[in-house]
Structures are given as C-alpha cells and as structure tokens.
C-alpha cells in the first residue's frame, strides 16, 4: 500500500533511491543538495539501503566514479547543485556519449560570483548541451515520481542515457511536503533490475572510450543525437505506464487553463505552482490567460510546445537564468527557435527573474503578465526584461 | 658473449594481453611495461586508463589493443573511475546481482595523470581504501601532447615547457616523490619497478594484485622520443636508471621499506645522463648537483630500509 | 573483421563508441614503419627468450625448433632485441623494401 508521508523532499529522494535499490551512490556534498546525500549515507549506514556509498573528494570525482560504476552495470545515483554541476561539466559529456545510465538529481542553484547557495536555473542552463535527458519538476511528488521513472528510462536498452532530474534548490529541495511514497513491492514490479548490455566483464571484454579521429567523430555524435531524440518516445511510454501503475500522469508539456487563453505564460520548475495561483487570480478577474509548464527539457519537446501555444496571441516566457550578452533568457531563446518556422505563432516576450533565490509572488506574476501584454503591443527596445531589479 | 641480465623467460605467461599493432613509437619502453604488466595481471581484471600515450596508442576507433575489459574516461579521474568500478562490482557481487568473484580493478595512468592533474582523485581513492591497483607509467613528462614537463620530470631535463636555454637549465625542480606521497596515505603496498627488470616487475604486479586494499606501482618508462635517446637502448637505459640510483627499485609493505636490489655501490649518474639528449646541455656543475642529490636520497632510502 | 574507420556509417557505431573485438589492432601493419629490420644468425642462438621478453610490440615468437624470430608484419625495427641479445644473434640492417 502506498503510504502518504510528510517529509522533506531531499529526504524523500533518498527514500526513492532506496526503494529503487541503487547499487552505488557516489556524491559530494554541496548546498542545497546536502540533505539528499546525508539521508542516503544514513540509509546505507543503517543497512536499509544495500549499496556502496562512495564519499568522493569532489564532484568531478563523483561523476567519474558514476562512470565506472555504470560501466560495470551497477545501478548508479548521484546528486549535486550549482558549482558542483559545473565542476563535473566535462564528465557529463562523457557519461552521455559513452551511453552510461546514471540518475542524478540537481538541486538547482545559482552560479558564483557572487557566491549564492540559493536557487535558480543557471546551473541547469549551463549543461544544456551535455546530451543528458533532463526533466524539471515542480513539487515533491513530481520529484520522487520522476526519480523513480528516471532509473527505468535510463537503463532501458532503447535509451541507455543518463538522466538529470532538476528541482529548485531550497524552494523545493528543503520543502516538507505531503507525498505518496510507493511500497517496495510496487517499485520492484515497476523497476526491472539493471542489465546493461555490454558492461565491463572479463567474460566478454570490451573497450570503452576509444579516441575518435575526424573521420569518425561526426558519425559518433550523430548516432548519439539520433538516440537522444528517439528516447523521447520511450520516456512517454514509461510515463504512461507509470500513470497506469500509480495513477499520476506526466507529459513533456503541461497546460493549465490554456483553453481559449489569448495570453500564455511559460514557466519551469517550482515557480509553476505560484504561477498557477496567479493564473487563477487573473482568470477570476476576467483575463483570458493560461500557463504552459515545461517539464521535459531534453530532448526538447518541439511538437508539444508548438501544439500548446498555437492558438495564443502572446507568449510570455519566464527564465530563471540569465545568459549574458545574448538573448538573456535561455529557455525563451529555445522557444523562439522552436517556433521560428511555424506560420502562425504568438508574440513572444522574454522575462528573466527569480535569480539567486529571489522569490516571485502571485502579484509578481500578475505584474509580469501585464507588462508582457504591454510589451507585446508596444514593442520594446530590449531583447528581454529583467524582472524585479532595483534601479 | 655478453653477461646474461639474469631472469628466466619461462616464468612469463605466453598469452599476449596487449596486442601488437598498437601505435606506440618505435622502441617505446612504456608499451613494453604495459605489455609485461598485462601478462602479470591475467584475464580477471577491469582496467581504467587515463588519457595519455598508452591510451591513445592502444585505442584508435574502432580497434583496440586490449584483450581485457578497459575504459578510458578522462585525464584526471582514473582513480575515481576505478573507485566507481570497484564499488559497483562489490555491491553487485554482494547483492547477488552478478557473480564476478575476484575481479581485480586496475587503474593505469601516466606521470601527468598521476602526480599532477590526477593527484586529487588518486589521493581520494587511496584514502577511501578501495581494493584496487594503481599503476603509474612514468615517462617523466606529458609525452603524448609533445614532451611538456610534469612534476615527474627530473631536475635538469629539457622539455618543451621547461626548455634548456641561455638562462635556464631546463626543469628547475626535483622530481616529485610520488611513491612516498602514496606511502603517506597508509596503504598496504607501494613499489617502484622498471621493465628492464622483468621478474621483479612481474613479482610486484602479482603481489599488488593479491593485496587487499589500495596498492600502487610506479614504473619507470623510457621514452626514446621524449628523452632523445636511441630507441634500441630503451631497456639498457632503464637498467642504468636503477644502477645509478636515479630510479631505485623498492617496495613498501605496510610502511616497511625494502630495497630490491639493495645496491652497495652506485654507478655514476653521468652513465645514465649522457645517453639522453634531454640532458645534453648540462654543465658539470649541474651533473655534480644531481649526483649529490642522488647519493643523499639513496642513503636516505637505505636508512629507511634498514631501520624498520 | 570490423569495417575500416573511413567506411563506418553512423549506424555502424557500437553504443557509446565501444570497441568490441579484443586485440583488433593486430590487423594494423606497423611493419610499414621500420627503417631497419632484424636479421638472425641462429647458430649463436641459445633460445633464452630475452628478445621475446623485451619486444614492446610483442611480435617475437618461438618457432617449431625453439628459435625466436620477429614477425615482419608488426616489427617496427626498434633494435631493442639486438641490443639485449646476450649472444649477438641479431643484427639490425637497413630496410630496403
């Protein structure tokens, strides 16, 4: 029987990793991910999780140890945030291009300088191109469901790619929320054991990590790209089966009150929950607005985005990261790119806000929508609007 | 008739685990070292290898010289990858997910990947006490990228980033003592070896494989291209490195030092230096300085070996 | 035998770029590299195997009579065997091919 628990989301992640019976946890502590690894260490120390907990000496080594562990066929988990994600940057590319299934939760944190332990998406945006499957989550239930699915997706022979689960640092990682935790039997049924097809095994030796001269590199990369795109179908299939088993359904793009909405707001991560409240408020005031929540970040859901916004006149995108000297909002620039060749598309307005842990309230979202509508009518000299900066 | 160096070829296994056709330079003693180490390791291993000469020459896509499971990830993380492999195998064996008894995890890296960029991962893995063997193939510079200096480059050697010049004698610092750094981590087995001394190297590999916990082998690898020495002298120069005391062969078992061989008298360092173009520019003063340091260090080593 | 590198399509690439044929570099003719090659005076050979041990390319093997000889497909002509042979069996001569 599923149990309803009230616990900190970070701790719940540890519980799910335990239910998934991970073999190796290799992680380095960094705020705001610390509670995840602390709880996992506790579970291992008490014998509740039969796994090897490797207290590595840096995030670079954390991900490197994950490579080794996944390469021998073990179910592997790690977690990090902000600077840690950046430190393991080069290893992330290796994990995906060597097709090693690893599950990692990232408690999204702003990047230095100035030092900030608080939440925003700059760490996630910096690793867009690494070839990982990436999913954003909005609340505790989504986090644990996504982590559970992540193991199944990553280890699926049609995928064999590492999966990153993003959750907002502090705003989600440290929240105590009511969640439905599945029972061991249910998880065992949903999650088959990891059977990596060509692991490092003396009985059948393989060589991993050959060097690729110019003659071959393009082919290797294209094979990787084709595989990542093909993974989308598998992700949808697993989400559908998860829905059948547990009753909660997930899709790459979620629309909230978007029917007949003239104006759409787009958010990612836990801000979506606040935004939904703002949409309700504005709807009650007679405005025809709706919310698009982007959940599947990589592989990017082109079709679903185009479908979601096709009837809107204005699309306001809120980015929680700032890409310097460029289009400002990374997510917005990708949305614009996705809609470029569509004949009928909304006017797109880019907002950047919520940086370094700064909150945006319901009123704040209302302000963003109204300003966004204004800009869509009058235009703007700026590429994007920075929300909430004191001038 | 030249004097026999003294070992018996029949003690080697016949199987070649490091296949020919690898792209190592003509006369590469590092390739020789890898070949011999692999003979001693056997088939029941998994190897993590750093970026470097041996990785590049042995893994040109889609081919491989390796006949055992092998992974190359990056330059500085070999010990971390090995830690992951060791933990993964341990967990899976224990949980009954797999049955791979007695598989030895081996990490291989060059001097750069060990004493410079890779030292953090190595230190971490040693401290955590993983059951693995770390082998450093030391050719005393970043050879694969074009002979740039590393912290293992010996004093006075000319490399492309520590070139000898009008105002420079080349490498201006002494070789970093990696074996001692590893010994400081309190690991059960540390040893130095050289492929010129085959039986000694094979015995040490076997001992290290049999050790529970971390073990470390530091193997001198003569590089004719980087050291600017004749390719056919690869084995002879390695022998001279040991006979002059420049690269002493020793073992440290649980902190106890043992010299092997314990040389009563060292040949003059110049016998070794004069065969290599990277030392060609050295004045007598510098050579004397090197001789003095070698004498001091060897005396120190003898003391440690005889005390314990 | 795997396809040559230049003929591989993206579909041919094994997952993660793995090489699945152990020791496949054997196919590569490093013998083309040499500028000198070993010649043998087997009358002096005592079949000690020292040349076999010290070959970095593992291309020396024992024939039916027990003599050790390098295989010319892989031999790079480094000359280590000639230097290490205790009875001077091997002489390196210029490669004429």
Q: Which chains touch B (3 or more CB pairs under 8 A)?
A: A, C
Q: Which residues of B touch C55 (CB under 8 A)?
A: 32
The per-residue pLDDT for B1 is 32
The per-residue pLDDT for B8 is 56
Are the beta carbons of B81 and A65 separated by less than 8 Å? yes
Domain regions of chain B by residue span: 16-307
Question: What is the interface size between A and C, counted as CB pairs within 8 Å?
Answer: 52
Is residue A206 domain-shared with residue A304, that is, in the same domain? no
C54 touches chain B (CB under 8 A): yes
Q: Which chains touch C (3 or more CB pairs under 8 A)?
A: A, B
Is residue A286 domain-shared with residue A232, that is, in the same domain? no
- With CA atoms as reference, the chain A residue closest to C9 would be A219
Q: Which residues of A touch C (CB under 8 A)?
A: 97-100, 160, 197-198, 205-210, 212-213, 215-216, 218-220, 222-223, 226
Are the beta carbons of B84 and A68 separated by less than 8 Å? yes
Is residue A230 domain-shared with residue A310, that is, in the same domain? no
Tokens at A166, concatenated? 């993003």
Are the beta carbons of B62 and C8 separated by less than 8 Å? yes
Is residue A33 domain-shared with residue A179, that is, in the same domain? yes
The per-residue pLDDT for B4 is 38
- With CA atoms as reference, the chain C residue closest to B221 would be C56
Residue C1 confidence class, pLDDT cut points 50, 70, 90: low
Q: Which residues of C touch A206 (CB under 8 A)?
A: 18-20, 22
The per-residue pLDDT for B11 is 64
B3 touches chain C (CB under 8 A): yes
* Domain B16-307 of CATH type 3.40.50.970: yes
The per-residue pLDDT for B42 is 93
Q: Which residues of C touch B36 (CB under 8 A)?
A: 53
A192 touches chain B (CB under 8 A): no
Quote the radius of gyration of chain A (alpha carbons, Å): 21
Is residue A185 domain-shared with residue A215, that is, in the same domain? yes
The per-residue pLDDT for B195 is 97
- Best of A96, A199, A208 to substitute, by most chain C Cβ atoms within 10 angstroms, is A208
Percent share of chain A, pLDDT over 70: 100
Nearest Cβ partner for A200 among B74, B85, B121? B85
C58 touches chain B (CB under 8 A): yes
CA distance B167 to B157: 14
- With CA atoms as reference, the chain A residue closest to B48 would be A68
Are the beta carbons of A206 and C19 separated by less than 8 Å? yes
Is residue A82 domain-shared with residue A201, that is, in the same domain? yes
C14 touches chain A (CB under 8 A): yes
Average pLDDT over residues A68-89: 98
**Could you tell me if A349 and A315 are in contact, meaning their C-beta atoms sit under 8 angstroms apart?**
yes
A85-98 tens-digit pLDDT? 999 999 999 999 99
Class of domain C5-94: alpha beta
How far does chain A reach from its first CA to its final CA, in angstroms? 54
C37 touches chain B (CB under 8 A): no
- Best of A72, A75, A191 to substitute, by most chain B Cβ atoms within 10 angstroms, is A72
| ipTM of the complex as predicted | 0.94
Q: Which residues of A touch C11 (CB under 8 A)?
A: 223
Is residue A8 domain-shared with residue A94, that is, in the same domain? yes
Is residue A165 domain-shared with residue A308, that is, in the same domain? no
Residue C2 confidence class, pLDDT cut points 50, 70, 90: low
Among A228, A246, A264, where does a domain finish? A246
The per-residue pLDDT for A1 is 64
User: How far is CA C78 from each of CA B35, B226, C49, rounded to the nearest angstrom?
Assistant: 16, 15, 17
Nearest Cβ partner for A209 among B44, B72, B84? B72
B19 touches chain C (CB under 8 A): yes
CA distance A190 to A237: 13
The per-residue pLDDT for B65 is 96
The predicted model scores a pTM of: 0.95
Nearest CA of chain B to the CA of C23: how many Å? 4
Are the beta carbons of B19 and C54 separated by less than 8 Å? no
Q: Which residues of B touch A60 (CB under 8 A)?
A: 76-77, 80, 121
A240-254 tens-digit pLDDT? 999 999 999 999 999
Average pLDDT over residues A195-199: 97
Q: What average pLDDT does the structure give for chain B? A: 94
B16 touches chain C (CB under 8 A): yes
Are the beta carbons of C10 and A222 separated by less than 8 Å? yes
User: How far is CA A345 from each of CA A197, B22, B208, B260, rounded to the nearest angstrom?
Assistant: 44, 57, 67, 78
C34 touches chain B (CB under 8 A): yes
Of A289, A40, A239, A81, whose CA–CA distance to A171 is shortest? Answer: A81
A1-59 tens-digit pLDDT? 688 999 999 999 999 999 999 999 999 999 999 999 999 999 999 999 999 999 999 99
The per-residue pLDDT for B3 is 36
Domain regions of chain C by residue span: 5-94
A321-352 tens-digit pLDDT? 999 999 989 999 999 999 999 999 999 999 99
Are the beta carbons of B5 and C86 separated by less than 8 Å? yes
A292-324 tens-digit pLDDT? 999 999 999 999 999 999 999 999 999 999 999
Q: State the residue range of the domain holding A285.
A: 253-386
C7 touches chain A (CB under 8 A): no
Nearest Cβ partner for B66 among A52, A72, A207? A207
CA distance A197 to A218: 24
Residue A164 confidence class, pLDDT cut points 50, 70, 90: very high
Spatial neighbors of B101 by CB under 8 A, at least 6 apart, are B93
C17 touches chain A (CB under 8 A): yes
CA distance C18 to C9: 15
pLDDT under 50 in chain B at which residues? 1-7
Q: Which chains touch A (3 or more CB pairs under 8 A)?
A: B, C
CA distance B159 to B226: 8
Is residue A232 domain-shared with residue A315, that is, in the same domain? no
Are the beta carbons of C57 and B62 separated by less than 8 Å? no
Residue A212 confidence class, pLDDT cut points 50, 70, 90: very high
Burial class (CB in 10 A: 0-12, 13-18, 19+), C25: buried
How large is the angle between the packed helices A302-309 and A330-339, nearest 10 degrees? 80
The per-residue pLDDT for B2 is 36
User: Residues B13-40, buried b or exposed e (16+ Cβ, 10 A)?
Assistant: eeebbbbbbbbbbbbbbbbbbbbbbbbb
Q: Which residues of A touch C9 (CB under 8 A)?
A: 219
Are the beta carbons of B18 and C58 separated by less than 8 Å? yes
A279: CATH: 3.40.50.920
Percent share of chain B, pLDDT over 90: 92
Give kind and range of the element (H or E) at residue A176: strand A176-181
Is residue A209 domain-shared with residue A282, that is, in the same domain? no
Please report the DSSP string for chain B in residue order: -PPP----GGGS-S--SB-S---PPTT-HHHHHHHHHHHHH-SSEEEEE-SSHHHHHH-BTT--SBSS-EEE--SS-HHHHHHHHHHHHHHHHHHTS---TTPEEEEEEEHIIIIITTHHHHHHHHHHT-SEEEEEEE-SSBTTTTSB--TTSPTT---SSS-EETTEES--SPPP-HHHHHHTTT-SEEEEE-TTSHHHHHHHHHHHHH-SS-EEEEEE---HHHHT--GGGHHHHHHHHHHTTSS--EEEETTEEEESS--SSPPPHHHHHTT-GGGTT--HHHHHHHHHHHHHHHHHHHHHHHH-
Are the beta carbons of A100 and C22 separated by less than 8 Å? no
Nearest CA of chain C to the CA of A81: how many Å? 26
Question: What is the interface size between A and B, counted as CB pairs within 8 Å?
Answer: 175
Burial class (CB in 10 A: 0-12, 13-18, 19+), A213: exposed
User: How far is CA A46 from each of CA A49, A51, A107, A212, rounded to the nearest angstrom?
Assistant: 8, 11, 25, 45
Q: What's the number of domains chain A is made of?
A: 2
Is residue A71 domain-shared with residue A146, that is, in the same domain? yes
Q: Which residues of A touch B100 (CB under 8 A)?
A: 201-202
A217: CATH: 3.40.50.970
Q: What average pLDDT does the structure give for chain A? A: 96
CA distance B19 to A193: 35
Does A391 reside within a domain? no
Quote the radius of gyration of chain B (alpha carbons, Å): 19
C75-88 tens-digit pLDDT? 999 999 999 999 99
CA B134, B137, B140, B141 torsion-angle sign: negative
Bridge partner list, A76: A24
Are the beta carbons of C19 and B12 separated by less than 8 Å? no
Are the beta carbons of C78 and B27 separated by less than 8 Å? yes
């Amino acid at each position: 029987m599923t149990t309803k628990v009230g616990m900190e989301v970070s701790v719940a992640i540890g519980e799910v990793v335990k239910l998934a019976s991970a073999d190796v946890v290799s992680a380095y502590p960094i705020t705001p991910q610390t509670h995840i690894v602390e709880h996992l260490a506790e579970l291992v120390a008490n014998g509740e999780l039969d796994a090897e907990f490797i207290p590595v000496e840096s995030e670079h080594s954390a991900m490197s140890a994950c490579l080794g562990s996944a390469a021998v066929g073990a179910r592997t988990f790690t977690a990090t945030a902000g600077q840690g994600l950046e430190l393991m940057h080069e290893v992330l590319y290796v994990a995906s291009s060597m097709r090693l299934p690893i599950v990692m939760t990232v408690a999204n944190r702003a990047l230095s300088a100035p030092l900030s332990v608080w939440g925003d998406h700059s760490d996630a945006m910096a690793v867009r191109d690494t070839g990982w499957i990436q999913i954003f989550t909005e609340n505790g239930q989504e986090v644990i469901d996504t982590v559970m699915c992540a193991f199944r997706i990553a280890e699926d022979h049609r995928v064999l790619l590492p999966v990153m689960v993003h959750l907002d640092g502090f705003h989600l990682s440290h929240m105590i929320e009511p969640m439905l935790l599945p029972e061991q039997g249910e998880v065992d049924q949903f999650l088959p054991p990891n059977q990596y097809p060509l692991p490092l095994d003396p009985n059948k030796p393989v060589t991993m990590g050959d060097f690729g001269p110019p003659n071959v590199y393009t082919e290797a990369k294209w094979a990787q790209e084709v595989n990542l795109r093909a993974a989308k179908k598998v992700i949808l299939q697993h989400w559908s089966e998860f829905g059948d088993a547990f009753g909660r359904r997930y899709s790459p793009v979620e629309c909230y009150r978007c029917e007949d909405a003239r104006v759409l707001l787009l958010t990612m991560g836990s801000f979506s929950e606040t935004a939904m409240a703002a949409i309700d408020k504005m709807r009650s005031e007679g405005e025809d607005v709706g919310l698009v929540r982007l959940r599947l970040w990589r592989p990017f859901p082109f079709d679903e985005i185009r479908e979601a916004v096709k009837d809107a006149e204005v699309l306001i995108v809120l980015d929680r990261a700032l890409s310097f000297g460029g289009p400002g909002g990374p997510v917005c620039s990708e949305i614009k790119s996705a809609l470029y060749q569509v004949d009928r598309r909304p006017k797109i307005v880019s907002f950047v806000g919520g940086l370094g842990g700064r909150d945006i309230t319901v009123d704040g979202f209302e302000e963003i929508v109204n300003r966004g509508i204004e800009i869509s009518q009058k235009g703007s000299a700026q590429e994007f609007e920075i929300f909430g900066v004191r001038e | 008739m030249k004097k026999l160096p003294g070992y018996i070829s029949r003690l080697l296994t016949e199987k070649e685990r490091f296949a020919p056709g690898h792209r190592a330079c003509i006369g590469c003693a590092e390739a020789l070292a890898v070949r011999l180490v692999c003979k001693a390791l056997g088939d029941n291993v998994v190897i993590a290898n750093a970026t470097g000469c041996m990785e590049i020459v042995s893994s040109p896509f889609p081919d491989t010289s390796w006949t055992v499971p092998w992974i190359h990830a990056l330059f500085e993380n070999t010990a971390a990858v090995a830690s992951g492999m060791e933990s993964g195998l341990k967990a899976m064996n224990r949980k009954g997910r797999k049955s791979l008894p007695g598989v030895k995890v081996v990490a291989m890296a060059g001097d750069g990947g060990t004493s410079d960029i890779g030292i953090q991962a190595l230190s971490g893995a040693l401290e955590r006490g993983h059951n693995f063997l770390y082998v450093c193939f030391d050719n005393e510079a970043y050879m694969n990228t074009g002979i740039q200096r590393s912290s293992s480059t010996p004093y006075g050697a000319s490399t492309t980033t520590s070139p000898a010049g009008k105002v420079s004698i080349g490498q201006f610092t002494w070789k970093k003592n990696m074996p001692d750094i590893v010994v400081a981590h309190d690991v059960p087995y540390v040893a130095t070896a050289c492929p010129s001394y085959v039986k000694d190297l094979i015995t040490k590999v076997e001992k290290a494989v049999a050790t529970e916990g971390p073990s470390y082998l530091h193997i001198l690898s003569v590089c004719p291209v980087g050291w600017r020495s004749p390719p056919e002298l690869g084995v002879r120069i390695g022998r001279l490195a040991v006979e002059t005391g420049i690269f002493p062969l020793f073992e440290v078992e649980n902190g106890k030092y043992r010299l092997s061989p314990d040389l009563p008298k060292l040949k003059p360092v110049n016998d070794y230096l004069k065969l290599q173009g990277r030392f060609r520019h050295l004045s007598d003063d510098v050579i004397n300085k090197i001789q003095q340091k070698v004498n001091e260090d060897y005396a120190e080593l003898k003391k440690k070996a005889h005390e314990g | 035998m795997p396809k040559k590198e230049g003929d591989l399509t993206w579909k041919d690439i094994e997952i993660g770029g793995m090489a699945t044929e152990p020791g496949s570099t054997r196919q590569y003719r490093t013998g083309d590299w040499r500028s000198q090659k070993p010649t043998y005076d087997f009358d002096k050979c005592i079949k000690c195997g020292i040349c076999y041990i010290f070959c970095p390319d593992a291309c020396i093997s024992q024939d039916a009579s027990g003599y050790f000889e390098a295989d010319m497909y892989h031999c790079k002509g480094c000359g280590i065997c000639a230097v290490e042979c205790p009875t001077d069996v091997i002489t390196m001569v210029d490669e004429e091919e």
